[in-house]
Structure 1
């Protein structure tokens, strides 16, 4: 059952209307991607000041526009989560006229984002080799499941598939249960972050050397790199880790514990923290025990230590322990539900979660979370309505007149 719009959580968010960041001001990006990974890369670039034009299929647009419910003001919230700060141009890029318009746009832009496999890029003339003559300084970015080369290059891929390939699913969850997907599209978001980071590095090199760059981001490789802290120990030891509900860390005590009411997290990551924990809970003799002097010794006795800490923490509510441990500078925290994250006062205070005015009403935003000169992004540009900037872009970028635009619309090119 949906919540009435006047009772939505977004209504309690702090409003934002500050100017957007300008670090990438003047950089023009053509975003031809759909779903999550590519659009997220485009949003990150828009958050940092780039002009991002999202090129979408006429009538239907990005696949994610249909991903719902939930919808807000008739728009998919999944779509809205990765497309703020952009302009939308509808264009049939498979038609000869659409191809001609696209090539003229490519000649003027700095970056092209694609999430098409190599075979489809070549078929549409969107591969780097085809576009480079139009713009030698172009930064051509491909985000795909398996990269543009190799035996799996043409295979389709979604976040779920990439997570399975990477081993993150095999290592997530309790030992007695089956593999679990991460609770957010992690492979999509990591690949999108990688693409945006790569674009900024390529822009810096272009500033020095004047040449463009071909960037190839694989969702499977981005997600597998995320597993490096697990993969490297296996490569160097031959010991295959198994899922254990997060209780198999190299840090001896680093897991969830139950309290008298709600569960909490606790990380005793070094000898000083180990000592502060036991002093804070009134058992300094445990800190002084030579059998637990270092992390290696504590790992050997982990089962017994976990049992002792578990019995202790179950005696009082979570709020008691968090207050006590925070004052003692011991890493500990709640396990928040999504609704609690949305209401987190610190995230509101920092401006990380906010709302802006959209064409049909308020829109929630999850911010960039990065500060530049003590500023974070505050773009007031909402996710675009499908094709809402088509005429504006054709007029300002390509100097099309009203008759040309009307003809393109009649022919369903835009």
Structure 2
């Protein structure tokens, strides 16, 4: 007989999270209606930011399968993908096959009521499905149309498919991430997706502000590769001005000397001596003030020339005592430093918890963990208005309340487009 798995009875981290009740939340975008035709991470993260700020987001999903991210697992929580749950709160899900004429008609009727439409289809596919900017702005001329693709709406790569991994490779970030002499590495989170999502949300709000003045719609073109590449501005600019190509160094080649991780007697720390004052404070704090006046170390440019020797010198000092000693000392001296946390340590950070960054939503029989927006308005963190929706959860309510469809019309659509529709074959 097999012994029981000791991890099976171990409580999940969600149990320790503070509970948040559903509430109104931020209302800065109150009255703004968004039709969300996106899947995966970039688009849904953009529309969740808009929803978090008060917009009403209608998430249009394929009947039967829905957003691709609904299948991304394990791990799952009560049968739901945790990736999906991470970027879809505060939305209403409508299951609708708009590749069919009746479904497209319903979609276009929703677009007439919308302020913003967000799409993450290659231009060729968007045109085929009649959800391109020209088609939708012919329905509502002042529409804010937001396209999120891998490579943009124009150019030789416009119709190429793309994921975060591909964008990171194109951008150059993978080539400068990893240990010196090691293999290129992807960032440990979907950075291109999340950056593109932020760009899309920011651009959408900017376009809405412009529309208030001009009454005109806009077409926003966001590319994962562009967003990820812009993230490297502080590495690209030095190359453009000097011709020196950055290389992988394990995060030890910053323009700032010293700015990297160090081992201590137990756990590693990060240390950032970003100016001459901090450099001087450090040597006073460790009891070696005489180093401050050593020739060849007085400016950052000087110290960059001596980086290898300085790193070895600091490393010997820090390995003498444990992390807690150094973090306490440096904090009291006003020297930027910190731990290198694991994810389980991050979510237990009391300061982050106090700022409302991690919580669980309890809604009836559903308990869903969330990572907050991380934005405070008027001294307050946000409150969730709704848990991430189940596939098609709001279809009938939206068709009835927003479009005025009667029972017979909704029943006909249910039999043809909503419950039996197939995924788009494009």
Band of TM-score, shorter chain: over 0.9
Gaps of 5+ in 1: none
Q: 1:2 to 1:398 in 2, by over 3 A?
A: farther
The offset of 1:64, in angstroms, is 0.4
Q: 1:346 to 1:2 in 2, by over 3 A?
A: farther
Q: How many residues align?
A: 414
Matched, 1:378 2:397: no
Deviation track 1:333-384 (CA, whole Å, cap 9, x = no partner) reads 0000000001111111111111111354311110111111112211141100
Matched, 1:51 2:63: no
The offset of 1:6, in angstroms, is 7.2
Equivalence for 1:323: 328
Distance in 1 (alpha carbons) for counterparts of 2:279 and 2:267: 23
The offset of 1:288, in angstroms, is 2.4
* 1:158-237 correspondence to structure 2 within 5 Å: 158-237=163-242
The offset of 1:291, in angstroms, is 2.0
Equivalence for 1:334: 339
The offset of 1:323, in angstroms, is 0.3
Distance in 2 (alpha carbons) for counterparts of 1:317 and 1:207: 57
Matched, 1:99 2:110: no
Deviation track 1:244-284 (CA, whole Å, cap 9, x = no partner) reads 00001000111110000001100100000001111111111
Q: 1:3 to 1:93 in 2, by over 3 A?
A: farther
Equivalence for 1:126: 131
Contact 1:172 1:179 in 2 (8 A): yes
Deviation track 1:186-232 (CA, whole Å, cap 9, x = no partner) reads 00000000000000100100111111110000000000000000001
The offset of 1:5, in angstroms, is 8.2
Equivalence for 1:243: 248
Matched, 1:252 2:257: yes
The offset of 1:13, in angstroms, is 1.0
The offset of 1:19, in angstroms, is 2.8
Q: 1:399 to 1:4 in 2, by over 3 A?
A: farther
Pick from 138, 141, 147 the counterpart of residue 136 of structure 1. 141
Distance in 1 (alpha carbons) for counterparts of 2:410 and 2:10: 39
* 1:59-74 correspondence to structure 2 within 5 Å: 59-74=64-79
Matched, 1:42 2:42: no
Pick from 349, 353, 367 the counterpart of residue 348 of structure 1. 353
Provide the TM-score with structure 2 as the length reference: 0.95
Equivalence for 2:304: 299
Equivalence for 1:389: 394
Equivalence for 1:13: 17
Distance in 1 (alpha carbons) for counterparts of 2:321 and 2:157: 53
Contact 1:73 1:360 in 2 (8 A): no
The offset of 1:3, in angstroms, is 5.8
Equivalence for 1:112: 117
Deviates more, 1:123-132 or 1:96-105: 123-132
Deviation track 1:274-301 (CA, whole Å, cap 9, x = no partner) reads 0111111111111222321100001111
User: What CA RMSD, in Å, does the superposition of the two structures yield over aligned residues?
Assistant: 1.3
Contact 1:16 1:380 in 2 (8 A): no
The offset of 1:111, in angstroms, is 0.5
Q: 1:19 to 1:322 in 2, by over 3 A?
A: same
Distance in 1 (alpha carbons) for counterparts of 2:231 and 2:6: 36
Distance in 2 (alpha carbons) for counterparts of 1:2 and 1:78: 26
- Helix, strand or coil at the partner of 1:143: strand
Distance in 1 (alpha carbons) for counterparts of 2:9 and 2:333: 43
Matched, 1:151 2:150: no
Distance in 2 (alpha carbons) for counterparts of 1:150 and 1:28: 31
Distance in 1 (alpha carbons) for counterparts of 2:185 and 2:245: 18
Contact 1:41 1:193 in 2 (8 A): yes
Distance in 2 (alpha carbons) for counterparts of 1:408 and 1:242: 57
